[in-house]
Structure 1
Amino acid sequence: MPALTAAERPAAETLFGERLGLAERYVEHLCTTGITHGLLGPREIPRMWGRHVLNCAVLGPELPAGGTVADVGSGAGLPGIALALVRPDADFILIEPMERRVDWLAEVVQDLGLQNVQLIRARAEEVTDEVMADVVTARAVSALKKLIPLTAPLLSEDGELIFLKGRSAQEEIEAAAKAIKRYRLQQPQVQLLGENLLEQPTTVVRSSRRG
């Protein structure tokens, strides 16, 4: 398992606090069974902390206290499990259609003793009647044009979409203009998180429902 670098440790300690040990155990899962289950490639092991876990965890402070967060296409629990470790005061619903991924997530959730995580094996469009979240998030699922129709129906009336994105975020926003209008969303904003914590800040796209 990759150890935290000197540059990464302050961020990990700040974000995870007393649960850093659990975060380290999660990274161990990612770097072992996460690889053998095909959730991540072996080349990701050296950068598991910086590129993946801390990249997701930095979203934690942005979440509402006591809120419900839905992670669509949770995969290896990024960002869902990372956020559940940072924010034990919020409830997380991890939505993932692939059985082997859900089985792996269930093992990890049980091993880490996460009481604030619920797993649903389904596609996002199949659970619009049962999920109503304060925040819906996703990482590496699809471009906004396709992602918004999958996720916006899961939002509460005053909820917020917060997606982890890359350098093409602004272009994705422009391409998703019709979906933004159709689902009554405010104009999405690109924001950098963790500029004072991470070597490479996390890019997110945020949009709330229009009043």
Structure 2
Amino acid sequence: MGLEPDAGKVALIDRYIKELELWNPRYGLVNAEGDDLIIRHILDSLSGVKTMQGLGPAVVADIGSGAGLPGIPLAIMLPKIRFHLVERSGKRTGFLRNIILTLGLNNVSVMEESMENLTERYELVTFRGFSPFENKLIKHLKKILCEQKGTVLAYKGRKAQILEELNALDEDPEREITTLPVNVPFLEEERHLVIMHLH
């Protein structure tokens, strides 16, 4: 993936994986374990690092963060970016607050809230497995994105499915969309990042 993390970042990611495996049976955070957990969730989350770096936001909202994916792996790799993990489940936000303290992540905060109730505006919003692209979702995203340069970075699967979702949206001549294929090591499935500029 072209990443060259230092030993400190690798140690944090390793600790995060161990905490996920420790709490997953009780909290039902992710539907995977062992290598499957690392490939499908950690490496998949890290596949967006370079793209996010290129977009250069100061603050990012990770919507429907769940177990902190992709927010926590991204925050470890990109310490200069501030991440707000938005999650409405109290059980999961409890886990997230604990993991932030455990890992000592100063650039991450947790918001126990649904996206619809957010009042802050963000340069960049990311999500992974949160929701298909629908008109209702786009409407909510527009409310929480900065008006001048609001960008969505969505982790998605098959290209055919992405096109189906995008084609069902209302037309918007100001919307710019780029779909990037990403290679997640050891994962034999199509993965894409969708960059959407909503003006």
Amino acid at match of 1:198: P
Q: Distance in 2 between matches of 1:116 and 1:149?
A: 28
**Unaligned 5+ residue runs, structure 1?**
1-10
TM-score, length basis structure 1? 0.82
Is residue 28 of structure 1 aligned with residue 18 of structure 2? yes
Is residue 170 of structure 1 aligned with residue 160 of structure 2? no
1:91 alignment counterpart: 82
Is residue 52 of structure 1 aligned with residue 9 of structure 2? no
1:67 and 1:202, CA in 2 relative to 1: closer, same or farther beyond 3 A?
farther
1:14 and 1:189, CA in 2 relative to 1: closer, same or farther beyond 3 A?
closer
Pick from 172, 175, 179 the counterpart of residue 186 of structure 1: 175
Contact 1:192 1:204 in 2 (8 A): yes
> Which digits, 9 at most, give the CA deviation of each residue in 1:118-161, with x for residues without a partner?
1110101101x2x2211101111111104323323211120210
Pick from 111, 131, 143 the counterpart of residue 120 of structure 1: 111
Contact 1:66 1:90 in 2 (8 A): yes
**Unaligned 5+ residue runs, structure 2?**
none
Number of residue pairs matched by the alignment: 190
Is residue 140 of structure 1 aligned with residue 129 of structure 2? yes
Alpha-carbon deviation of 1:202? 3.6
Alpha carbon RMSD of aligned pairs, Å?
2.1
Q: Secondary structure at the match of 1:115?
A: coil
> Which digits, 9 at most, give the CA deviation of each residue in 1:78-130, with x for residues without a partner?
01111101100100011100100000000001100000001110101101x2x
2:96 alignment counterpart: 105
Alpha-carbon deviation of 1:46? 2.9
Q: Which 4+ residue blocks in structure 1 deviate beyond 4 angstroms?
A: none
Q: Distance in 1 between matches of 2:6 and 2:138?
A: 33
Contact 2:57 2:123 in 1 (8 A): no
Contact 1:141 1:147 in 2 (8 A): no
> Which digits, 9 at most, give the CA deviation of each residue in 1:186-209, with x for residues without a partner?
24222113x3x7344741111112
